[in-house]
Amino acid sequence: MSGRKANGNEITLEWEAEEAERFRRPRRPVEVRRRAGWRQALGIGARVLLAAAALGVLAGGGYFAYQLVMRGRPFRLAGAEAVEVVNNLHVPMEAVQERFAEDAQRSVFRIPLEERRRSLEEIPWVESAVVQRALPGRLRVYLRERAPVAFLRQGSSLWLVDGQGAILPVPEGATYQFPVLTGLPEALAPEERRQRLGLYLEFVADLDREAKGYSAQISELDLRDPDDLRATVTEPDGAVQLHFGRDRYQEKFETYLQHRSVWQKSGETVRAVDLRYRGQIVLNPEIPAGKEKE
């Protein structure tokens, strides 16, 4: 009996311990959750404050940086000497730099680059321009200059002209081996000028096919009549005008070369040769009306 009572007491004590443990269990999680919620709220608040402080610092730093680049001395264009020019063969450095005269002591970030580019392209020799900032306080200008293709006679003045019809002053000291173009008066519309220059370029390309280089013998080209290009060559006894029409220029010029020695040997004076007719050339022509042409 005593052994069983002892066992009963042990069972009772174990049951009571289990009950007590069961009733005590819910208290700890609740207490832990309350603590965790308080700490979590505190952590979120701290992070919000830190983020706000960081944004404030960034905003202040951004404003300071903005003021620095817009007004700070390191970013100001000191003057014309702070404008670097690249690829200017014929365009004077001064002609480029004077376009930036009003920008002296202005931040390079306040200079209207697109407006300056357009201003540079108004210079006769400039075909296109690119303007870039070269920090901290400089500008760099890249130029593409126009490429002349011929001399142009207008009245008593001699100019250069490029393939687009832009009329250019002849640079001092420059030498070119170009023919002189006539038949492009100042009053001619730009589009018509470009079309006639296109005829000239076609004429030169055909004469020089197969690297024959015949265009070097042409001293002058008259573009007044697009259907009859008239070229002048210089011979030992004087200038000769050749009527080419509007096609097969190299073939016609070789025909002229083949017959030239004949009349030179005969002593005949030739001042013009019409090469437009089929199977024949006409010396010193007065072109009859209705004659069949190539």
pLDDT tens, residue by residue, 135-192? 889 999 999 999 999 999 998 899 999 999 999 999 988 899 999 999 999 889 999 9
Is the per-residue pLDDT at 253 higher than 70?
yes
User: Is the Cβ–Cβ distance between 223 and 199 less than 8 Å?
Assistant: yes
Q: What is the pTM of this model?
A: 0.70
Whole-angstrom distance, CA of residue 257 vs CA of residue 213: 14
What are the Cα distances from residue 62, in Å, to 51, 55, 58, 261, 265? 16, 10, 6, 84, 88
Q: Quote the pLDDT of residue 40.
A: 60
Q: Quote the pLDDT of residue 72.
A: 52
Q: Quote the pLDDT of residue 121.
A: 96
Mean pLDDT, the chain, whole residue set: 81
Residues forming beta bridges with residue 161, ordered by sequence position: 150, 167
Condensed to tens digits (0 to 9), the pLDDT of residues 95-133 reads: 999 999 999 999 998 999 999 999 999 999 999 999 999
Q: Burial letters for 133-156: b for 16+ Cβ neighbours within 10 Å, e otherwise?
A: beeebbbebebebbebbbbbeeee
> pLDDT grade, residue 246 (50/70/90)?
very high
Secondary structure letter of residue 80 according to DSSP: G
